[in-house]
């Protein structure tokens, strides 16, 4: 396994496939409908504009095993040091260290970009994701009960956060 920076041409289709599988078969994403291929162009453009990394784990043949990224936590200036992250691993590759390697690289990126808080918004019933985040040092910071509705049931959204030792000199404004 090798970690690479993802791009639209090489990885967009595989990322879309992983996202759509999560949409259709899990509560990892609170979307209902699969995303269209054209959506990846805007997705990558937004990441590039915001200087947001998209890390991928690839096998020896260049096949994408999983990816991790982050984005704006909330769109207000005082949250500029906080990001909400996502990590997705292809079905069949979970439990093999792919997610851990991606998250460790993502944490290093967040430190390098001087972020202070990483937030994971996790379906509270997703025990594997909760345990995964706890093993990486994330702490439970609250749950919004019945925040979503999918697959005919209410979903509780749990927030897990990791405090980083950055930024070195935070500023207002």
Reported as a pLDDT band with limits 50, 70 and 90, residue 149 is very high
Domains of the chain (ranges; CATH) run 2-163 (3.40.630.30)
Reported as a pLDDT band with limits 50, 70 and 90, residue 173 is confident
Longest dimension (CA), the chain: 47
Q: Is residue 101 pLDDT above 90, yes or no?
A: yes
Q: Is residue 95 pLDDT above 90, yes or no?
A: no
Q: What is the pTM of this model?
A: 0.94
What is the rounded distance in angstroms from the CA atom of residue 69 to the CA atom of residue 55? 6
Measure the N-to-C terminal CA separation of the chain; round to a whole number of Å: 41
Q: Locate tokens 């918004």: which residue?
A: 121
What is the rounded distance in angstroms from the CA atom of residue 133 to the CA atom of residue 97? 13
């Amino acid at each position: 396994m090798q970690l690479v920076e993802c791009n639209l041409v090489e990885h967009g289709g595989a990322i879309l496939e992983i996202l759509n599988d999560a949409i259709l078969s899990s509560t990892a994403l609170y979307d209902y409908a699969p995303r269209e291929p054209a959506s990846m162009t805007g997705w990558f453009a937004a990441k590039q504009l915001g200087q947001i990394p998209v890390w991928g784990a690839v096998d020896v043949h260049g096949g994408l095993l999983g990816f991790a990224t982050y984005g704006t936590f909330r769109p207000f200036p005082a949250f500029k040091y906080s990001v909400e992250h996502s990590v997705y691993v292809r079905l069949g590759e979970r439990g093999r260290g792919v997610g851990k390697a991606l998250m460790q690289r993502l944490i290093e990126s967040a430190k390098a970009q001087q972020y202070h808080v990483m937030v994971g918004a996790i379906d509270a019933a997703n025990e594997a994701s909760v345990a995964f985040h706890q093993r990486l040092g994330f702490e439970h910071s609250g749950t919004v009960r019945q925040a979503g509705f999918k697959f005919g049931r209410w979903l509780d959204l749990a927030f897990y956060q990791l405090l980083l030792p950055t930024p070195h000199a935070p500023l207002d404004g």
